[in-house]
């Protein structure tokens, strides 16, 4: 089964917004075995929409449209659909009642424009939109299908998830299975080299999806036999996991910050941080996890050397002789923050984020990270990039990766 996507709206064509809807739709369609043959974005004009419908009807079995369903007069999608499917517009009392209820709750007055939204092509089956006013519309013509949805992302996602994807999954004969292996602290090419020998034996598609300090490996397979497809993916996951086990922190939607948080909770340990070059980003990653107050106590961001000595107790001798970006400094930062915040574990980072502050001996991108408790401190030097923001993010991810490895050994 093949799908064609049409997004309608001038705001896409002038570059005011990035169209994230279509990649969301494409990846969710892929999961139920529906391939996207083309994506088209056109403005709010009847001619362009109709021309798009012609092209997509020829190429695909199902057309998914978003946008152009709002109450303002420049939204002409509905008119284009009524013309295209030679269907008169009828007033939908159900839709009117639903919109009225929403507006009463929000204390908004219904206008004529809102009433206009309730006229829908008679041939359309209404698909409920619990997230907004404009409903989805499902129309069949010559054995092919079309679904029109609002362009607001969370409304589109609701209609797709509850109205469209289940319908299409029931029609599709293809089975798609995927599993994503999530790694941290190792690069894409290093992983590729390690797993290359086993890949030839695995009958799956593999995609490397790298982000800063992390790589996701997506293994997928399409076929007609669900049991077979699943066992092929499972076997590949098992083979690859065996080889790169120390670098894997989770699967699918797991995140590194959730994973280390879970490890701390399970081991009943508390955490503090002492940050210099990351300037709060490490703490932000940790505290972006709901429930992080269960293990995370706080941080000292020692952006100046004065704070490193006065608040964290890094010795003046260390700062003078080794410098703020040194192994001894990050080790003393761990000791200092453990004493101050009284947690079981602490992480510290100090580095040169850039663009200024680099030297021949310690160029921009040089970072020291330490992780430790009262008995043992592990420290490591890194050389990241020349870019300030990327260095900050690399440092935070590698610090969490070092914490992960430290906790495994505890």
- Per CB under 8 A, contacts with its own copies among 314-353 are 340-342
> How far is it, in rounded angstroms, from Cα 354 to Cα 363?
9
* Of 49 and 82, CB closest to its own copies: 49
Q: Which one of residues 172, 287, 315, 322 is an interface residue with its own copies (CB under 8 A)?
A: 287
Residues 189-218 binding its own copies (CB under 8 A) are 207, 209
Task: Report in angstroms how near the CB of residue 363 gets to its own copies at its nearest.
Answer: 16
* Distance of alpha carbon 64 from alpha carbon 36, whole angstroms: 10
Query: Under the criterion CB under 8 A, does residue 25 sit at the interface with its own copies?
Result: yes
Q: Of residues 50, 87, 262, 297, which one binds its own copies by CB under 8 A?
A: 297
Respond yes or no on whether the N-terminal peptide bond of residue 355 is cis (omega within 30° of 0).
Answer: yes
Contact pick of 16, 72, 93, 227 for its own copies (by CB under 8 A)? 16
Does residue 45 sit in helix, strand or coil? coil
Stretch that binds its own copies, among 83-91, 115-123, 133-141, 302-310 (CB under 8 A): 302-310
17 in contact with its own copies (CB under 8 A)? yes
Rounded-to-integer distance, Cα 223 and Cα 317, Å: 66
Residues 6+ apart with CB under 8 A from 406: 345, 371, 372, 378
The residue among 28 and 144 lying less far from its own copies, judged by its C-beta, is 28
Of 63-71, 93-101, 140-148, 292-300, the window that binds its own copies (rule: CB under 8 A) is 292-300
CB-count burial class (<10 Å; 0-12, 13-18, 19+) for 336 = buried
Pairing of strands 35-42, 345-351: unpaired
Binding-site size for its own copies (CB under 8 A) equals 71
Contact 246, 321 (CB under 8 A): no
β-pair type (214-223, 248-251):
unpaired
Under the binding rule (CB under 8 A), the answer on residue 28 touching its own copies is: yes
Q: Which of 311, 380, 385, 390 binds its own copies (CB under 8 A)?
A: 311
For 312, the token pair is: 């964290």
Which positions from 31 to 70 touch its own copies by CB under 8 A, shown as an x/- string?
A: ----xxxxxxxxx----x--xx--x---x-----------
Q: Is 296 in the site for its own copies (CB under 8 A)?
A: yes
| Binding of its own copies by 283 (CB under 8 A) | yes
Would you count residue 288 as binding its own copies (CB under 8 A)? yes
Which part of the chain contacts its own copies (CB under 8 A), choosing from 108-116, 228-236, 253-261, 283-291? 283-291
Cβ atoms 171, 140 nearer than 8 A:
no
Q: Which residue has 């602290």 as its token pair?
A: 185
Choice between 96 and 344, CB closer to its own copies: 344
> Is residue 303 at the binding interface for its own copies, with CB under 8 A as the rule?
yes
- Whichever of 230 and 387 has its CB closer to its own copies, that residue is 387
Residue 384 CB, nearest approach to its own copies (Å)? 16
Cα-Cα-Cα-Cα torsion 180, 189, 35, 49, nearest 10 degrees, comes to 110
Interface with its own copies, residue 84, by CB under 8 A: no
- Cβ-count burial 108-146 (b if 16+ within 10 Å, e if not): eeeeeebeebbbbbebbeebebeebbbbbbbbeeeebbb
CB-wise, 23 or 224, nearer to its own copies?
23
Does residue 292 belong to the site contacting its own copies (CB under 8 A)?
A: yes
Does residue 268 sit in helix, strand or coil? coil
- Residues 374-403 interacting with its own copies (rule: CB under 8 A): 388-389, 392
């Amino acid at each position: 089964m093949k799908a064609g996507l049409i997004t309608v709206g001038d705001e896409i064509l002038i570059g005011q917004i990035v169209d994230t809807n279509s990649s969301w739709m494409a990846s969710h369609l892929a999961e139920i075995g529906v391939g996207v043959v083309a994506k088209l974005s056109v403005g709010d004009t009847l001619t362009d929409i109709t021309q798009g419908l012609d092209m997509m009807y020829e190429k695909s079995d199902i057309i998914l449209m978003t946008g152009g369903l709002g109450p303002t007069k420049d939204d002409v999608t509905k008119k284009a659909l009524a013309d295209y499917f030679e269907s008169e517009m009828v007033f939908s009392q159900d839709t009117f009642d639903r919109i009225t209820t929403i507006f009463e709750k929000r204390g908004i007055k219904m206008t004529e424009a809102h009433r206009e939204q309730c006229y829908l092509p008679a041939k359309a089956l209404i698909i409920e939109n619990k997230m907004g006013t404009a409903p989805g519309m499902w129309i069949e013509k010559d054995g092919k299908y079309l679904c029109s949805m609002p362009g607001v992302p969370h409304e589109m996602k609701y209609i797709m998830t509850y109205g469209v994807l289940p319908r299409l999954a029931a029609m599709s004969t293809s089975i798609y299975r995927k599993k994503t292996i999530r790694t941290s602290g190792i690069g894409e090419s290093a992983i590729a080299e390690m797993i290359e020998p086993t890949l030839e034996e695995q009958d799956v598609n593999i995609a490397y999806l790298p982000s800063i300090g992390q790589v996701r490996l997506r293994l997928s397979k399409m076929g007609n036999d669900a049991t077979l497809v699943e066992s092929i993916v499972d076997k590949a996951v098992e083979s690859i996991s065996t080889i790169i086990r120390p670098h894997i922190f989770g699967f699918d939607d797991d995140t590194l910050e959730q994973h280390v948080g879970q490890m701390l909770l399970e081991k009943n340990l508390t955490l503090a941080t002492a940050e210099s070059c990351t300037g709060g980003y490490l703490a932000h990653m940790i505290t972006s996890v709901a429930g992080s107050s269960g293990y995370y106590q706080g941080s000292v961001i020692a952006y100046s050397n004065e704070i490193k000595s006065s608040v964290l107790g890094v010795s003046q001798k260390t700062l003078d002789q080794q410098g703020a970006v040194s192994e001894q400094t990050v080790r003393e930062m761990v000791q200092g923050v453990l004493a101050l915040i009284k947690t079981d574990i602490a992480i510290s980072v100090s580095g040169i984020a850039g663009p200024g502050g680099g030297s021949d001996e310690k160029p921009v991108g040089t970072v020291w990270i330490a992780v430790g408790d009262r008995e043992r401190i592990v420290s490591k030097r890194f050389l990241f990039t020349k870019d300030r923001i990327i260095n900050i993010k690399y440092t935070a991810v590698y610090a969490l990766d070092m914490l992960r490895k430290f906790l495994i050994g505890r």
